[in-house]
Structure 1
């Protein structure tokens, strides 16, 4: 079997220049039984925001193309395709590059976060995108989701044990097995294993709600200061892991905290609201904000990111409707490097 690493490919960090962003139009009434039209408007807002910074390809079921086009900026390209749900971070391809600037894509296997929803059509989206782009494809024979990983571009990866070691993904693979595969497919040399994700996250603890790299050696992490909050203990455990860890280059991490928003609920269930679920674009950051009782933490998150990324525009999008489906801006997007 051919592996990307054998041909000099590696996954670049998200802040590296993008050729474009992919996003998928919401269709799943199981995910949003009551709010689908509002969610579509919110997704259009995200697509239109990204289009201010870089090209956007919106994947839309053929019968919904005209409806999506009415809400989206003309700069948003539309690609007709069939699928189950709208979280392309997880069922889309992960792109890798080599030293000559060639781009390839990894087609992971996808099973809807351990079989929680239908996934047969979603599992076919990545190969169809890669065939459409006519880029080299590497087919990985195991389950992996883009929201479960973050890389720094210099050999270090962040993930969580709750997700990658969950028996509903790859029960035949242990920690060392997964590390070996991630090295071969993504070019990473060291994996930092955080423990658990946010309370209420149906993805089983995706790291893109918990922590991410701002640049090599620097990690942003959402923090909880309420001892009675179910996120407090797991947050403290993850912080301690980061404090004790070093990256692939032997550096200790600079850790930058972002205060979590107040607890948000939908139909009585706690939602996994996170400012870490922002998305890098060329020259900017697309930051999910929640409004209302979250106004203060919304402002603090924007202020922190503005200091961390002084050369990027912090572009806020109201994403409470998107959050009702279990994810947010980062979950809804997938970058193709330039």
Structure 2
């Protein structure tokens, strides 16, 4: 396993021919982590663990699934998960593999590599969601060692949920997240675009102003908008002009409709209805430990629920079921967009209570 830094003498991943493929490209595996943090997951994570098991089982219909587990939960996780899901000891501070895990790259000659971004728990000591995050910072290195692949390290603070790519040179992200001063305060938009190009092989960045309303990640793109094919995206949407999400989604739509991708194509935007609005119930909040080092979960707090937060596998799309009023409509839209994949809905409120959803707890390992 080789590690490459960011010195001017070292060629960038893009210069070496590596790039980040789209999520809808073929995978070899999916990586997840096991929830147990009692100040984020109610009742010691037991309800969330049951939901993670269902997500893992759905994805495992399509590809190999690895679940990283802290040692004190290893036997419990192994007992709950089917034998064909691979449980590995991989310590973490919490279970958001999309953000703490590696961003995988592929090369035309068949090699697999990864980007090891810096991680500061969504804002560090200025708005971050928990402390410490030392175990999370080691996850990329450990996975690189397990797989024996080249690791490109960069001190750029970036979470995987803040970016989506089409695999053809285009990346979408939000200004709210990547330009937030609690991530990389000394970097300009131009600086970030250069680094994204250097490490992911993209040539065009589409900047959406904001992410979903009340998204505690500072507006990750994967909760608002994602690629379903080159030149095609889905966007969370509400027609309710009194809802704060309406203005956010309208802004995003205007940017997308006035932009072209790296190949010069206009975007086709498919609207996915917003669930809810969804709020935390009294019984749900009361099961969470209250610690000064983590974000509180209060009754009545609005959650950033979104059907866009789904996972695209080789033969399945695993989507959250969040609201009986809109679940079937969202599923039907996704079935129309992914005719070659089976759309599986998983009751995912327990993941949303922790601050994210199915895309946030998964990380695809592309086929090398």
The alignment's TM-score, normalised by the length of structure 1, stands at 0.98
Matches within 5 A, 1:236-247: 236-247=250-261
Superposed, which structure 2 residues align to 1:1-338 within 5 Å? 1=7, 2=10, 3-34=12-43, 36-115=45-124, 116=128, 117-118=130-131, 119-266=133-280, 267-290=299-322, 294-338=323-367
Given that 2:105 and 2:115 are in contact with CA atoms closer than 8 Å, whether structure 1 keeps it comes out as: yes
Q: Give the Cα–Cα distance (whole angstroms) in 1 for the partners of residues 16 and 166 of structure 2.
A: 20
- Classify the secondary structure of the residue corresponding to 1:31: coil
- Distance in 2, matches of 1:110 and 1:26, equals 19
Deviations along 1:59-111, one digit per CA (max 9) or x if unpaired, are 00012111001211111101102210000100100000011121001110000
Runs (4+) off by over 4 Å = none
Three-state SS of the structure 1 residue aligned to 2:360 is coil
- What's the offset of the Cα at 1:34? 3.6
Which consecutive unaligned segments of at least 5 residues does structure 2 have? 1-6, 281-298
Deviations 1:9-30 (A, max 9, x none): 0000001111100000002112
How far apart are the structure 2 equivalents of 1:216 and 1:52?
Answer: 25
Asked if structure 1 preserves the Cα contact closer than 8 Å seen for 2:37 and 2:44, the reply is: no
CA shift, 1:33, in A, is 3.8
* CA distance, structure 2, for counterparts of residue 48 and residue 284 of structure 1: 11
Q: Deviations over 1:143-178 (max 9, x none)?
A: 010000000000000100000000000001110000
Structure 1 residue 35, shift from structure 2 partner: 6.2
* Cα deviations by residue, 1:280-328 (Å, 9 ceiling, x for unpaired): 11111001112xxx21311011000111111110011110001001100
Question: 1:329 & 1:183 partners in 2: Cα distance?
Answer: 27
What is the distance in 2 between the residues matched to 1:82 and 1:239?
39
Alpha-carbon contact 1:279-1:329 (below 8 Å) kept: yes
SS across alignment from 1:331: helix
| C-alpha distance in 2 between matches for 1:100 and 1:272 | 40
CA contact (8 A) 1:27 1:84 kept: no
Contact 1:155–1:188 (CA under 8 A) maintained in structure 2: yes
Task: Give CA-to-partner distance per residue, 1:223-262, whole Å, 9 cap, x none.
Answer: 1111111111111111100110010111111111111111
| Mapped partners of 1:53, 1:237: distance in 2 | 35
Structure 1 gaps, min length 5: none
How many aligned residue pairs are there?
Answer: 335
SS in 1 for 2:122: helix
Q: Distance in 1 between matches of 2:44 and 2:204?
A: 41
Cα distance in 1 for partners of 2:48, 2:83 equals 19
Query: In 2, are the aligned partners of 1:200 and 1:269 still within 8 Å (CA)?
Result: no
What is the TM-score normalised by the length of structure 2? 0.90
